[in-house]
Every structure is written in structure tokens, then in C-alpha cells.
Structure 1
Amino acid sequence: MKSDENFKKWVEQVNKPFIGWDFSFITETGRVKSEPIHWSYGSTALQLMKESSSMLDMGTGGGEFLSKLYPFPPHICATEGYKPNFPIAKKRLEPLGVSVFSIDEDNKLPFECEEFDLVLNQHEAYDPKEVSRILKTDGLFLTQQVGGKDCVEINHDLDASVPNDFLHWSLDYAVNELMNEGFIILKAEEAFPFQRFYDIGALIYYLKAIPWQITDFSFETYEENLYKIHRAIEEKGHYDVKQHRFMILAGKR
């Protein structure tokens, strides 16, 4: 069947290496699109940076996002916990004046107490107590997070288990954690925008890049249900799932 041949061709071309934190192979080619959310983490970060003299970017990935926010405050650092990303981030960011640190634990950051007046965190784990320790009084913490219900339709449609460790992770939960640590919540937003895949190869590439979505993912294990999604895409033109995002701006008292 023609569909079978198409399926094989999509699968054969998904072995492109995933480097840093760069989804451009599927996003910039229009193979995956996400519905806009009603806030901009980047615009908010840029505005806060204008008033900052010392900042930290937690979980910088390969430095792709942070490098686009240049010029920086006089004192700027970044952390990365995923070892393959660390040399990529150093190469990209250190020429721009960023000190990049490899970390193993979110609750043990290699910084002085009250070292920063701004801490940025996009889609990275954090410990509220440790963020408070390194943040100056009246300093600001901006985070955008992937919620625990992110893209769970993929798990359901592939008949894969949903990781229970993160299902609780939501705006309300994160706000309560920060308030318990003495933070004032200045802004809090949550959204469930759709993410659209236009071919099965893009979905497979995505799942290989983020192994926490389906922890035992392999093409061989889920081939039958992947093929069902492929057929649905051929009939409808796309495959939609709901993302889960929230953003918090908090101040240290």
C-alpha cells in the first residue's frame, strides 16, 4: 500500500541527531506547530533584564535561547544539568561573557547567597528554597514550566503509561511552593495550547528528543499505534495534542 511506503519513508528519516535544545529540524520546517499562548516568556525576560545588574539562567540547554537575549547585565551566569549540552552552552555563551556551570542537583547551586537580582528558568526543575538563597532581597524569579498534563494524549494514543511523578505539577502547586518559601506572586498564568504534528516522522523525532514523555519509547515497541496515528494524519492532515504551560513571576521579600 502507498500508506505503508509513506510510513516507512517517514520513519527512515528521523535519525538526525538531536543537539543542544534545538527542535528546528521539525519546527522551522513547519512540520510541527504550536498554538500561541497569551504571554511571552521572552518579552518578559528581556524587560526584566533591562533593570538587572546580576542574573542567572537556570537550565540553559545549549544556550540557544539565552544567546538571543544579548546584551546582558554586567554579571551573568547559566547552569546546565544535561552533560551533553554543557560543552555546547560553554562554546556558545562564554564568548558573550556568560559563566556556564555544570550542575548535578537543583538544590545545590554553585553560587553565593544573594548573588543575583534576577533568576530566569524556562522549562527547568528548581528548588524554591535554593532559588531564594541565591536571590537578593527584592530580587525576581521568572519561570515558565511544562505542566504535568503536557501532551498526555500521545501516551494514551500509543497505549503508553503516563509518568505519575509529574501529574501534580501545575500552576497552583508551584505557586503554593513558592509562597511557602516566602515569595510574593506578582504574576501567574496557565494555558493548554494545542501542538500540531503534520507527519509521523516529526512525532517520532519529538518523542526521541524528550524521553521523559514515554520513558520506554522505541519505534519497535510502539510501531502498531504509531501507524494508526500515521493513517489518521493522512486522512485529516494533522495530529493535535494539548500542551500544558504555566508562567510565574515571583519576588523575594
Structure 2
Amino acid sequence: MSEPSEPAPAPAPLPFDSAASRDRFEALVAEADAVSVDGWDFSWLAGRATEERPSWGYARAMADRLGRAHAALDLQTGGGEVLAAAPKLPPVTVATEAWPPNIARATALLHPLGAVVVADEDEPPLPFGDAAFDLVVSRHPVTTWWEEIARVLAPGGTYFSQQVGPASVFELVEHFLGPQPPEVRRARHPEDARAAATAAGLDVVDLRSETLRTEFHDIGAVVYFLRKVIWMVPGFTVERYRPQLAALHRRIETEGPFRARTTRFLIEARKPR
């Protein structure tokens, strides 16, 4: 996956409008820098950031498919929150995850539901036999190894995934890193996913994309988001990006919520019988 480039030069330090503004900045940043970012639950952002959801309702549609499957694999499950929300899991349900804190969290959440969590570094090959699953799902995978997905799917099996699309939240990314080159802005294009799935021998039966709106209401929400979604601004820390954070804090206080465009796409592909 293409990643954003190196940090943009830090803007010249800007004085805060007042001591109160400076104190708010320091308090919001300190709070967001201290809170845990384990798992894939964004409830800490309630009231502090909003994100439009795609019209297709991925969690509901995934749950419907899980209810009809016999053996399912959830790739890059995070803390297992999306999988655990399904009302019925298949008799064989396996999830993979790479990050140790999320592995522990997903295990505690999914084991009581009868799902097994496998620690996997998200590098091929997947630790499963050929044709092991009739359903593979993944919400917001960092990478998609199409040949491996095709290998572990049984004939007639389905891959169903919601993914982050090109230049998602790049208004925020570029505030910290500066303008990104065209190849970085185009990365994760849904048509590239279609081509890769087809090359792996899968038939793409559904491909939809939407551009949505995200708003950050305070600088703490920005810090939390960038700490949690680590590939947006690689190497992000509060100290490294304090000038950019201070400038954005002033902008939010002056102009209101910081708005960015979020891109998502839904892809469903089947393995021929």
C-alpha cells in the first residue's frame, strides 16, 4: 500500500489567541494522547468527531452472510468488535489479527462466541489450507492479498469487504504532511481492487464507492484519530507534530469543525465453482 510521504515543514509557531486557548489545547492534547487506542472501537470520539456511514450498511450485510455461512474467516479483525456484533456466527469462525493488544482484546471478545483468533502478521501465506472457508470478510483491511483470499476460499465461496478508498481524509493528512503526489492520492482505488481480484481468479459481483463527510470538533479528536489510524500520518506523535496541531487547534476554534472527505468502497467477489 502506498503511504503518505514525509512530514511537511512545520509551520511557523503561532501564538495562541489567549492563555485560555493555549490551556484548552494542552488539556485536549494531553487527554487524547493518554487514552488507550486498543481495538477498533471509536466510541471515545462520540460528540467530538462525526463520520457519515456508507449507504450499504456493511455490518448488517456482513451479518446476513455470516448467518448463511458454514465456515468464515474475518481478516484483520481489529478488536473483533464488528464480527462480535453479528447475531449468528457460522459453526466454524476464525479471525486473524496482527497487533498484540488487539489480539488479546479480540480473543477475550470472540472466544465466548465460539470464534478462534489467530495471530497473523498479515503477510502471505495465510495460515489456512486451501478451500477452507466459504466466506471471507474484512472491514477496512490495510492490505488485501487477493491470491491468498482466492486460495482459502472454497469453490463458490465469497469475499465481502468494505475498504478505505483513495485520498480518504487527505485534507487532514496533507495538513500534516503537505501535498501528496498523484500516485499516493490514487492508491486504494476500487478499480485497482477489481483488477486484482479478477487477476486472482475471482468474479467481482458488486463494487460500489461513496464519498462521505468527516468532521473533527476539537484537536483532541484529531490526536486520537491519528494515534489509532496509524497509517494516515506514519510516525505521528504529539511532540513531533505539535506546531501543526497548534495551527489546527486555532483553525477549529476560529472557523469551526475541521471537515474532510472520507472515501469508502464495497467489494464482493466470488470464486467460481
RMSD: 1.8
Q: Which residue of 2 is the match for residue 71 of structure 1?
A: 88
SS at match of 1:243: strand
SS at match of 2:128: coil
Deviations 1:124-169 (A, max 9, x none): 1221111111101111100111124111111222244759668421
Shift of 1:235: 2.2
Q: Which residue of 2 is the match for residue 110 of structure 1?
A: 127
Shift of 1:189: 0.8
Structure with larger RCO (C-alpha < 8 A, sep 6+):
2
With normalisation by structure 1, the TM-score equals 0.93
> Conserved in 1, the CA contact under 8 Å of 2:69 and 2:134?
yes
Shift of 1:221: 2.5
> Conserved in 2, the CA contact under 8 Å of 1:160 and 1:214?
no
Q: Which amino acid aligns with 1:78?
A: A
Distance 2:226 2:174 in 1: 14
Q: Which residue of 1 is the match for residue 167 of structure 2?
A: 149
Deviations 1:81-116 (A, max 9, x none): 122211211111111110111112432112121111
Distance 1:42 1:101 in 2: 21
Deviates more, 1:199-208 or 1:101-110: 101-110
Q: Which residue of 1 is the match for residue 26 of structure 2?
A: 8
- The 5-angstrom pairing of residues 1-253 of structure 1 reads 1=18, 2-14=20-32, 15-26=34-45, 29-124=46-141, 125-160=143-178, 162=180, 167-253=186-272
What are structure 1's unaligned runs of at least 5 residues?
none
Distance 1:91 1:159, change over 3 A: closer
SS at match of 2:173: helix
Percentage identity across paired residues of the two chains: 30
Distance 1:161 1:85, change over 3 A: farther
Q: Which amino acid aligns with 1:122?
A: R
Distance 1:220 1:67 in 2: 36
Q: Which amino acid aligns with 2:240?
A: T
Distance 2:180 2:83 in 1: 31
Deviates more, 1:192-201 or 1:79-88: 79-88
Q: Which amino acid aligns with 2:151?
A: R
Distance 1:22 1:161, change over 3 A: farther
Q: Which amino acid aligns with 1:141?
A: Y
Runs of 4 or more, structure 1, over 6 Å off, are 163-166
Q: Which amino acid aligns with 2:83?
A: L
SS at match of 1:244: strand
Deviations 1:36-62 (A, max 9, x none): 322111121122123211111111111
> Conserved in 2, the CA contact under 8 Å of 1:162 and 1:214?
no
Counting matched residue pairs gives 251
Distance 1:217 1:62 in 2: 21
Deviates more, 1:190-199 or 1:45-54: 45-54
SS at match of 1:234: helix
